[in-house]
Amino acid sequence: MPAAPPEATQDSTPHALLAFLHSQSQTTLTRLYQRPSSCLSMFRLLGPLERQLIMNLLWLDSAVPAQTMSAWVTQEGRKMYDNALVSLSKLHILSSSPVKLALNTTFKSSLRHAIVGGGTSGSFGVPAEPDRKHPPPSIETLDAYALERWETILHYMVSSGSGRFPARPSQGVLLLLQRSGLMTNMHGSALQITSSGFQFLLHTPHAQLWELLLQYLHMAEERQMDLVEVLSFLFMLSTMELGRDYSVEHLSGTQTAMLEDLRDYGIIWQRKASSRRFNPTRLATTLTSSAPPLPTAGNSSGSHQAQGFIVLETNYRLYAYTDNPLQTAVLNLFVTLKSRFPNLVVGAITRESVKKALANGITANQIISYLTTHAHPQMRKNKPLLPVTVQDQIRLWELEKNRMQSREGYLYTEFASQADYEYVLEYAKKLDVVLWENALRRCFFGSVEGHSNIRGFIERRSAGNV
Partner 1 sequence: MDKASHLSVILDLSPVQWHLFGQSTNPFPLSLSSFLSQLLAFLNAHTACKDENTLAVFGAFPGKSVLLFSSTTGISEGDLGPADANTYRPFKMLDATIMKSILEELEELSGAQEESPLGLVGALTKALCYINRTSSAASSAPAARSEETNLPDPRILIISVSPDQPSAYIPIMNSIFSAQKLKVTIDVCKLFGSDSVFLQQASHLTGGSYIFLERPDALLQYLTMSFLPPPALRQLLSVPTQDKVDFRAACFCHKNIVDVGFVCSVCLSIFCQPVPVCSTCRTKFPIKTLQRLNASKPPAPTANRAAIPATSLPRSTSIGSGTPRLTPLSNGNGTVHPPSQNGTPR
CA 243, CA 66: separation in Å to the nearest integer?
45
Q: Which is nearer to partner 1, 62 or 339 (CB)?
A: 62
Residue closer to partner 1 (CB basis): 249 or 426: 249
What SS3 string covers 25-62?
A: CHHHHHHHCCCHHHHHHHHHHCCHHHHHHHHHHHCCCC
Q: At what angle do helices 253-265 and 139-159 cross, to 10 degrees?
A: 70
Helix (H, G, I), strand (E, B) or coil at 444: strand
Return the number of the residue (75 or 339) whose C-beta is nearest partner 1. 75
- Would residue 90 be called left, alpha or beta, if left means φ above 0 and alpha means ψ between -120 and 50 degrees? alpha
Q: Give me the least distance between CB of 22 and partner 1, in Å please.
A: 19
Long-range contacts of the stretch 416-423 (C-beta < 8 A, 24+)? 418/442, 420/461, 423/461
Could you list the beta-strand ranges (E) of 137-242.
183-184, 192-193
Give the shortest CB-296-to-partner 1 separation in angstroms: 15
Nearer to partner 1, 40 or 183 (CB): 40
Smallest distance, partner 1 to C-beta of residue 235, A? 11
- Name the region of 92 (left: φ>0; alpha: ψ -120 to 50; beta: rest): left
Q: CB-wise, 6 or 163, nearer to partner 1? A: 6
Alpha carbons 347 and 332: distance in angstroms, whole number? 9
Q: How far apart are CA 96 and CA 40, in angstroms?
A: 21
Strand-pairing partners, residue 64, are: 101
Q: Which is nearer to partner 1, 287 or 362 (CB)?
A: 287
Phi–psi pair at 375, nearest 5 degrees: -70, 145
Our CB check for partner 1 shows the closer of 241 and 459 to be 241
Q: Is the dihedral of CA 105, 110, 115, 118 positive or negative?
A: positive
Q: How far is the CB of 58 from partner 1 (least distance, A)?
A: 7
Q: How many residues are recorded in the chain?
A: 466
Q: How far is the CB of 85 from partner 1 (least distance, A)?
A: 13
CA dist 451 and 398 (Å) reads 32
Closer to partner 1 by CB, 73 or 174: give it.
73
- C-alpha dihedral sign at 26, 32, 37, 38: negative
Q: How far is the CB of 294 from partner 1 (least distance, A)?
A: 13
Beta carbon nearer to partner 1, 338 or 380: 380
| Beta carbon of residue 356, minimum distance to partner 1 (angstroms, whole number) | 30
- Strand order of the β-sheet with 268-269 is 246-247, 277-280, 268-269
C-beta separation of 247 from 126 below 8 A = yes
| Residue 148: CB minimum distance to partner 1, A | 22
Between 83 and 447, CB nearer to partner 1 = 83
User: In whole angstroms, what is the distance from residue 308 CA to residue 317 CA?
Assistant: 16
CA 147 vs CA 95, 136, 155, 159, 213: distances in Å: 42, 18, 11, 17, 17
**Cβ 237 to partner 1, closest distance in Å?**
13
* φ, ψ dihedrals at 88, nearest 5°: -65, -35
Q: How far is the CB of 213 from partner 1 (least distance, A)?
A: 17
Classify residue 117 by its DSSP letter: -
What's the closest the beta carbon of residue 275 comes to partner 1, in angstroms?
18
Cβ 298 to partner 1 shortest distance, Å: 11
Nearest residue (CB) to partner 1, 280 versus 347: 280
Residues in the site for partner 1, rule: CB under 8 A? 1, 4, 7, 10-11, 36-37, 40, 43-44, 47-49, 51-52, 55-56, 58-62, 64, 68, 71-74, 76-77, 80-81, 112-127, 239, 241, 244, 250, 286, 288-292, 303, 306-308, 377, 380, 385
Q: Which is nearer to partner 1, 183 or 284 (CB)?
A: 284
